[in-house]
Amino acid sequence: MSTSSAVTGSCNWVVVKLPNDSTIRFIVDCGLFLEKECENYNENFPFDPRKVDFALLTHIHNDHCGRLPLLVRKGFEGTIYASNETCIFAPLALNDSLKVLKDTAKRKHTKELYAERDVQNTIGQCSAIEYNTTICVNEHIKVTGFKNGHLVGAMMFLVQICYPGCDNINLLFTGDYNSKNLFFEVPDLPQWVLELPVTVIQESTYGNMESSEMIPVFGTNIAQSTRNGETVIIPVFSLGRSQEILYFLKRMQENNELEREVPIFFDGKLAQNYSSLYKKKELGLKAEMLDFLPENLIMVNKENRERIIKEPSQKIVITTSGMGTHGPAPMYIQEYVSRDNALIHFTGYTAEGTLGRILQETPTGKMVLVNSLARRKQARVVSTKEFSAHAKADEMCDFLKKFKKLQMVLVTHGEPKTKESFADRILAEVRPKSVGILNREYLHRIDEFGFRKTMSTKFE
């Protein structure tokens, strides 16, 4: 079962019933809900955290890891398995999540989800596993992690449930999936995995889009705006997207598409810290990608931020958060959204109810609330999916076609209509034995022969 029916708040709950009547329970990811209409889901789990035996963490984005400290706070004492890179990033990510949640609780006069000690306990429960190495979680469950192009440290998990006298039940959790990454090589899955009878739990963020629809517009927009003397605000995700945008601007400078005299400000402590970690050999990045910072790059902190925001001269600002709601981004948007000589350029997915989505849906000249202040939208607000770290529908179908004995695909991590349309496409194009949609309303029962039945839950 997925405890999320949306894109964010990723958490797949698996209950294993063995022939000896024993039960094993585990989860894959435990993220924060970012959609406004789903925020009430953040406070509780539709299962007892004390009865979860272990957890698998596919990557360190907040919508996949942000509720792990709450899980620990509510009694989870098991091991959290993740890649070495994810374990390196975890202290930064979870402490930043704590800070954001504290600020949100203070602003809304609500109780904090978890405290610093919960974060520290969570970090202590993390255990790194190597790529392509199988570990025995217990006598009945083996886990193997494979490199995933979505993000540095992203890992797909093959979970094999074993019992004497029975064939293995093989579950592959893709997490947020991509077959390539600018900063590191992504190998194909080993042939032995592709030949297994397997159920794939497949994300569907862009399950309604084709890779051919990803038209590159970012470079053209930045070049045009800077030629016109405009200030450009670029909200980015701290890990992955911010480093890619920095590298893109560096390449624009080298190709004389962006004047080196235009100052580039980089704001967001977490993004800055992640960028520093990109130099670590343990991350296994391409040697040629370690020098990814553009010229005339200026780091922003609390001391110089207000001056930079108020400074009227032209600039480019790369700032967190990627959806515009948290971090320094709202401060810049508050200042520049009412200026007609500014471009606010989103570079990735913006969830329903976030400032980024609201800005894109608000017509020019209409009022919009930023930091509880009414501002008239005059700036040009655009978005591009060209940097998306998620595979598109055709790419995901190509991935699924590689499996020789695909028993079932369970579609997750997508908006409801997208999951439905993508599930239909998988059934028609990939032709597994069965296709299902993971959400809070239904449990899917699987055995060694594949899908058995769907059962409703009491959760809404």
Beta bridge partners of 171: 159, 199
Domains along the chain? 12-209+388-456 (3.60.15.10), 215-383 (3.40.50.10890)
Among 193, 100, 180, which residue's Cα sits nearest to residue 144?
193
> For residue range 376-392, what is the model confidence (pLDDT) as tens digits?
999 999 999 999 999 99
Q: Residue 338: how many CB atoms within 10 A of its CB?
A: 17
Handedness of CA 151, 326, 369, 104 (dihedral sign): positive
Burial, 149: exposed, middle or buried (Cβ in 10 Å; 0-12, 13-18, 19+)?
Answer: buried
> For residue range 151-204, what is the model confidence (pLDDT) as tens digits?
999 999 999 999 888 889 999 999 999 999 999 999 999 999 999 999 999 999
Among 426, 458, 456, 357, which residue's Cα sits nearest to residue 202?
426
Handedness of CA 368, 374, 376, 382 (dihedral sign): negative
**Res. 460 pLDDT band, cuts 50 70 90:** very low
Q: Which of 42 and 204 is assigned the larger pLDDT?
A: 204
**Res. 266 pLDDT band, cuts 50 70 90:** very high
pTM assigned to the model: 0.91
Mean pLDDT of the chain: 93
Residue 332 phi, psi dihedral angles, 5° rounding:
-70, -45
The pLDDT, as a whole number, for residue 103 is 84
The pLDDT, as a whole number, for residue 93 is 95
E strand segments, 236-339: 264-267, 297-299, 316-319
Query: Strands 450-456 and 442-447: what pairing?
Result: antiparallel
Average pLDDT over residues 395-420: 95
> For residue range 410-441, what is the model confidence (pLDDT) as tens digits?
999 898 999 999 999 999 999 999 999 998 77
Q: How many residues can be counted in the chain?
A: 460
Give me 445's structure tokens. Answer: 């029962």
Q: Determine which helix (DSSP H) or strand (DSSP E) holds 395, and give its type and residue range.
A: helix 393-401
Contact 247, 292 (CB under 8 A): yes
CA gap 175, 55 in Å, rounded: 13
Contact 381, 358 (CB under 8 A): no
Average pLDDT over residues 134-157: 97
> For residue range 339-372, what is the model confidence (pLDDT) as tens digits?
999 999 999 989 888 999 999 999 999 999 999 8
Q: Residue 228: how many CB atoms within 10 A of its CB?
A: 10
- Give the CA count within 13 Å in the CB-facing half-sphere of 85: 27
Give me 127's structure tokens. Answer: 């255990």
Beta bridge partners of 409: 200, 435
- End-to-end C-alpha distance for the chain, whole angstroms: 12
Question: Under DSSP, is residue 265 helix (H, G, I), strand (E, B) or coil?
Answer: strand
CA 113 to chain centre: 20
Report whether the peptide linkage leading into residue 321 is cis, meaning its omega lies within 30 degrees of zero: yes
Average pLDDT over residues 276-285: 87
> For residue range 296-306, what is the model confidence (pLDDT) as tens digits?
999 999 999 99
The CA–CA distances, whole Å, from 255 to 145, 223, 231, 243, 270 equal: 39, 11, 21, 19, 29
CA gap 207, 114 in Å, rounded: 34
Contact 101, 326 (CB under 8 A): no
Question: Under DSSP, is residue 135 helix (H, G, I), strand (E, B) or coil?
Answer: strand
Contact 85, 282 (CB under 8 A): yes
Percent over 70 (pLDDT), the chain: 96
> For residue range 61-119, what is the model confidence (pLDDT) as tens digits?
999 999 999 999 999 999 999 999 999 999 999 999 998 888 888 877 888 899 999 99
CA gap 236, 242 in Å, rounded: 5
Average pLDDT over residues 260-278: 96
For the chain, the farthest-separated pair of C-alpha atoms sits apart, in whole angstroms, at: 73
**Res. 37 pLDDT band, cuts 50 70 90:** low
The pLDDT, as a whole number, for residue 2 is 52
CA gap 325, 105 in Å, rounded: 14
The CA–CA distances, whole Å, from 294 to 3, 90, 279, 307, 318 equal: 41, 27, 15, 22, 12
Beta bridge partners of 23: 17
